[in-house]
Structure 1
Amino acid sequence: MSKIEIPTDSLQVGHYISLPIGWTAHPFMRNNFIIKNQEQLTVVRSLGLDNIAVIPSKSKVAVPDTNNEDDLAGADQEEPEIDPDQAWLDELRNGQKRANKAYLQNAEKFRSALTKFTSKPEEAYYSIFEQVNITLQLMFKSADAHSVYVSLEPSSDEDIFFHSVNVAVLSILVAKNLGFSEKECQHLCIAGMIHDIGELKVPQQIRRKPSEWGQAEQNFYQTHPKFGAELIKKAGSFPPEVLPIVINHHELLDGSGYPNQRKASELDKATQLLSIVDSFEHLCAPLANQKRMTPQEAFAFLYKSAGTKYNKLYLEQLMNTLGIYPPGSIVSLSNDGYAMVMSSNPKEKLKPRVLLLEKGKNFSNANVADLTKEDIKINKTVKWDDVPAVLIKNFDPKLRCCYFFDPGQ
């Protein structure tokens, strides 16, 4: 399929073009499409591209000879029209951008607060408190269930930031759907942000060890909730409701957790919820010496212990909040293709928005699809290793899945 590059100013309605930029950088459904009207032509010309590739064989008008000014004077001037197929994509793009921006702001604020935790604990608390309140105001301004978006970020040695924000955000999304009050969500969100702060006292050679821990290393790691509680007490500013959530977030209903083998009757509802979300997140993005699971595998693993180790109602609500196919899941499609789920769809849980894994594409320029508007169904969830290598050569499976809701909803 031959392409001809022409100056953007020379484009006309009827030209079939191929945009060289990622799907988040333009408002169209695909990178390759025919310009239908003057409105689309105006948008294309506003993208800041000097030249754009045109495919003559798919165009409805001739590709002008850029050396002949007479050929450039006859651009079709059609009346602007609304393309209904664009509405869902505009919604997805804008929601994705807002969610991604909010997530990164939360992670950076939390990172900054933690650097002050030992030297200026009161300042750290107020920084966390402010960010938590902003997040809750955004979440509670809509009574509807929120779509959950995935943001893909490079993994780093500072994974505690990603993990903590993920746990905090998912916990309050589930809590809201369960009917927790805004004050209860505030305490839960603060606890989610700092629940693993005690890990900062665990030596890096243990946390990042790629092989199995010895018993002494396991025992030392399992003291991190107590370390966290000590730091919170020393700070002296945090609400008293936060402390039991932090110290008990690895406790289980049957008393088989740690560090104090608490049972269900000793664990408040916020602790029981945070325990589930923390476990789910750790299964999907584990420590260096643990096996990584897909979201579906993590749900199946946790559900085996529903009612014995984990609160069954809360686990089911987490599954309901993230959807049948949680964001970040890799799925096979009924058209023999593969995709990554980009956002949940509370109204149609079997039909999320997906990013198509296609040959020659990558995360920045891959096509997206709303399965409510496509004659395509999801067959099942799969692992990266199950996707043909030719399709994912340019995709990085090691990117960290981070979750947030659309604050503009």
Structure 2
Amino acid sequence: MNWQDVQTDSLDRSKSSIKIHVSELRVGMFVSKLDRDWLETPFLVQGFMIEGPEDVETVAEYADYVWIDAVPTKWCPPEQRTGLKAAIRPKPTYINKVSAREEHGQAIKVFRHARQLTKTLVDDIRLGGAINTEEAKSTVRTCVDSILRNPDALLWMTKIRSEDEYTAEHCLNVCILAIAFGRYLGMEESELEKLGLCGLLHDVGKMRVPENVLNKRDPLTPKEFNMIRAHTVHGRNLLLSTPGIFNVVVDVAYTHHERIDGTGYPRKLPGDKISQFARIIALVDAYDAMTADRCYSEAIPTTSALKNIYKDRGKHFDEKLALEFIKSIGLYPPGTIVQLRNELVGIVLETSQTYRHLPKIIVVKKGDRSLKKEQVLNLADVARGELKEEFLIQRALKDGTFGIRVAEYREKGLVFRTAS
């Protein structure tokens, strides 16, 4: 269902609504309410357009009655909506060259090598050294190659974190997530390399912020907050003095905290002055930060982070790109810890292109109780009638819930496997 395609500039919403049976749904109707809690459905956004017969079928799986706008909504197909093509590219033409399971072994090597190089790069800058442009580009190239083969494997690695290495790991994660999003948008490989480099180096200016301020657990003073904000200027200056750096990388380091509504920093730029690459990195940067434990805040689940992005679309983030980002990430990306309706708890191994809300998981606990034997389940079997509805996902959990940490399971040798 293309429920994420809903745009505020493509709908003329009514303040009143009427209740109808799902059998009465027609293309062009805007569903504003269901006869059950939204959290019990795969619909992340509360409200979506019916754009085809398949949408009616999907709604019918989860509800008997719905509420729609009482006044007919002015509707046009997504591809004809004003400005859509100008902001983002058509659907990507990339296909997965290998399965996630096949790519997993290679992705581990890529991630370990990239993480070490990123840590070295960050440490060198912190000690006053220069940015090694060629090593940075090489790191990005290996990430692009892996993501082009299959993005799920390397995306799964971004769930493995260490709070003590937050800045370096955050830079690498933003690089990986940005490349994967760019692939989804259909960018050329050369653009993906530039975008990945933007992600890898977007926060280099933080290496010029005193560590006692950068890692402070207590609330910042106004002076300290301004010191943090100055990392955008430090980043620009560092990159301007670095040979072989693309201009767009300098721009992103300087502008990734600007906002579409003009309230960002350091220059309060209006939305039309913010480049597409900076808009993309702003999205990815915020998403990765929200889903990570930081010295001053705890991680939140993926679904909560995506809801925050949806809420801030058109204000903090580019609206069309925000909606596309939500679609590209999906409800439960690889590495997400989820709890099922029957209290089983597992880790998402691989997403399903057909059933986005029904991934493949490895079940590791029931509540806070460990299982004698871990089991791989393909939740898409619920849609095929081979598993009961009690195996549907009830909620996503943050890393560490019930004592489950993705990094520990990776160390135990957890890999992508095919459900038996």
TM-score (normalised: structure 1): 0.66
Alignment partners' CA distance in 2, 1:397 and 1:339 = 10
* Deviation by residue 1:39-90 (Cα, 9 ceiling, x = unmatched): xxxxxxxxxxxxxxxxxxxxxxxxxxxxxxxxxxxxxxxxxxxxxxxxxxx9
Quote the residue 1:139 is aligned against. 147
**Counterpart pick for 1:150 among 144, 153, 156:** 156
Shift of 1:380: 2.5
In structure 1, which of residues 251, 269, 278 is the aligned counterpart of residue 276 of structure 2?
269
Structure 2: runs of 5+ lacking an equivalent: 1-97, 411-415
Count of matched residue pairs:
303
**Which residues of 2 match residues 27-66 of structure 1 at below 5 A?**
none
Distance 1:155 1:212, change over 3 A: same
Report sequence identity in percent.
20
1:8-407 to 2 correspondences below 5 Å = 93-117=101-125, 121=130, 124-140=132-148, 142=149, 149-151=155-157, 152-358=159-365, 359-360=369-370, 366-373=374-381, 375=387, 377-383=391-397, 392=402, 395-396=404-405
- What is the alpha-carbon distance in structure 1 between the residues aligned to residue 371 and residue 108 of structure 2? 21
Counterpart amino acid of 1:257? G
SS of 1:187 mapped into structure 2: helix
3-state SS of paired residue (1:243): helix
Higher relative contact order (CA 8 A, sep 6+): 1
Q: C-alpha displacement at 1:216, in angstroms?
A: 1.3
Write the deviation string for residues 319-351 of structure 1: whole angstroms up to 9, x where unpaired.
222212233433221333122223333332112
Instruction: Please give the secondary structure, in 2, of the residue aligned with 1:189.
Output: helix
- Give the whole-Å Cα distance in 2 for the aligned partners of 1:200 and 1:120: 11
1:107 positional shift: 1.1
2:247 is paired with a residue whose SS is: coil
- The code of the aligned residue for 1:279 comes to A
Deviations 1:149-177 (A, max 9, x none): 42353514221121111111111111121
The residue aligned with 2:37 is: none
- CA RMSD between the two structures: 3.1
The whole-number CA distance in structure 2 between the counterparts of 1:316 and 1:100 is 30
Q: How far does residue 182 in structure 1 lie from its aligned partner after superposition?
A: 2.0
8 Å contact kept, 1:254–1:308: yes
The TM-score normalised by the length of structure 2 is: 0.65
Question: What is the DSSP-based 3-state SS (H/G/I as helix, E as strand, rest coil) of the residue aligned with 1:367?
Answer: strand
1:44 aligned residue: none
- The alpha carbon displacement at 1:119 in A equals 6.2
**Is the Cα contact below 8 Å between 1:148 and 1:322 reproduced in 2?**
no
User: CA 1:400–1:354 in 2, change beyond 3 Å: closer, same or farther?
Assistant: closer
Deviation at 1:147, TM superposition (A): 6.3
Alpha-carbon offset, residue 109 of structure 1: 2.1
- AA at the equivalent of 2:394: K
CA displacement at 1:96 relative to structure 2:
3.4
Q: Which has the larger radius of gyration?
A: 1
Do 2:338 and 2:347's aligned partners in 1 also have CA atoms closer than 8 Å?
Answer: yes
